[in-house]
A = this chain, B = another copy of it.
Amino acid sequence: METKQEIQKSMMQAVTTVKETNPMAGSITNTVTINFVANAQLAVGGSAAMVYLPDEAAFLAEAGGATYINVGTIFPIYSETLPSVAKILHEKQKPWVLDPVAVGIGSLRTSLLQQFKPFKPAIIRGNASEIIALAGLWELDGGATESKVRGVDSTDEVFAAQHAAIALANWTGGAVAVSGETDLITDGTQVAISKGGSHFMEKITGAGCSLGGVAAVYATATTPFIAALTATAVYNLAGKRAGQLVDGPGSFQQQFLDELYKATAEEIANNPFEMQEVLV
């Protein structure tokens, strides 16, 4: 297992590479937070492009360094777009981030999430309820067959999803990030606990979605585990800083984007986190 110092060095390299190369990460994401996702991706140094149609998604999948797929608001065309783009991403071995928003709600959403299983997303990002429900849908260890997902909110604690997160990471060979008051990131062999953030992150929409989009940006430049940890770290850092400067969720949104933009590689790598080995 890498030392914490080695991990921090990799995080700094990922942040620096993104700021220097402005990598493009295309997205198929929900209409609620699509603007916030794009602005967050730009704020950390990436480039954003959003589409809905199958051939456009295929183009971005091949042209971009990574792709972000968020099933928050589904359109009928997604029945064509999402399975085909996930297949391409898997075949071309391009990293992609899956945000299984509201898994368990609706037949198309369920069908799409089931179809994603063989196409192994490099990073899966969700709240505890979503991670547990996805592991259940994929019939993996630690999954609940009955979703506790309520709309888009989590009803489970982060650590309750650790077992499911490890099982998902072992299946994909990538990383899983469970978002909550503290955040858990695992690649199946090690677990990082990242700290920080602000209570305002639950008072705005899109904190989770945009974290997934930023993870896709970092995934163009490093491993899934480092990408997920780096994205979570900059979110916890920017959230903490922004939360100390504002007294309402409206101001928080814009201050948070400012802090994402201002955070340096060293500051991000030094945001508090703990490493644990997964005991087999």
Binding site for B on A (CB under 8 A): 24, 26, 30-36, 38-39, 42-43, 47-53, 55-56, 59-60, 63-64, 72-77, 102, 105-109, 150-153, 202-206, 246-251, 253-259, 261-262
How far apart sit A33 and B37, CA to CA, in the bound complex (Å)? Answer: 11
Q: How many identical subunits does the complex contain?
A: 3
Which residue in B39, B153, B249 is a CB contact (below 8 Å) of A258?
Answer: B249
Q: Is the Cβ of A102 less than 8 Å from the Cβ of B248?
A: no
Known: A42-B203, A60-B151, A250-B254. 12 other contacts (CB 8 A): A32-B38, A32-B50, A35-B35, A35-B206, A55-B107, A64-B151, A248-B259, A250-B253, A250-B256, A250-B261, A251-B254, A253-B254
How far is B102's CA from A60's CA once the two chains are assembled, in angstroms? 11
Contacts of A107 in B (CB 8 A): 55
Give 29 CB contacts A-B under 8 Å: A24-B151, A26-B151, A30-B50, A31-B34, A32-B34, A33-B35, A35-B206, A39-B250, A42-B202, A42-B203, A42-B249, A47-B153, A51-B106, A52-B73, A53-B106, A55-B107, A56-B74, A56-B105, A60-B105, A64-B151, A75-B77, A76-B77, A203-B261, A247-B262, A248-B257, A249-B258, A250-B253, A250-B255, A254-B254
A32: chain B residues within 8 A (beta carbon)? 34-35, 38, 48, 50
A198 to chain B, nearest CB (A): 13
A257 close to B249 (CB less than 8 A): yes
Chain B residue, CB-CB nearest to A57:
B106
Closest to A101 in B: B49
Q: How far is the CB of A188 from chain B (nearest CB, A)?
A: 31
Chain B residues with CB under 8 Å of A76's CB are 53, 77
With both beta carbons as reference points, the residue of chain B lying nearest to A30 in the complex is identified as B50
Q: In whole angstroms, what is the CA distance A159 to B204 when docked?
A: 35
A125 to B112, CA, bound (A): 36
Residues on the B chain within 8 Å of A56, using CB: 74, 105-106, 109
B24 touches A59 (CB 8 A): no
User: Once bound together, how far apart are the Cα atoms of A246 and B39, in whole Å?
Assistant: 16
Alpha-carbon distance A262/B248, docked complex (angstroms): 7
> A102's closest neighbor in chain B, by CB?
B49
Query: Which B residues lie within 8 Å of A254 (CB)?
Result: 248, 250-251, 253-254
Partner of A105, one of B33, B59, B74, B258: B59
Contact for A150 among B63, B75, B153, CB less than 8 A: B63
Distance between A213 CB and nearest chain B CB, rounded to angstroms = 11
CA gap between A218 and B261 in the complex, in Å: 33
**Given the interface contacts A35-B32, A52-B74, does A151 sit within 8 Å of B63 by beta carbon?**
yes
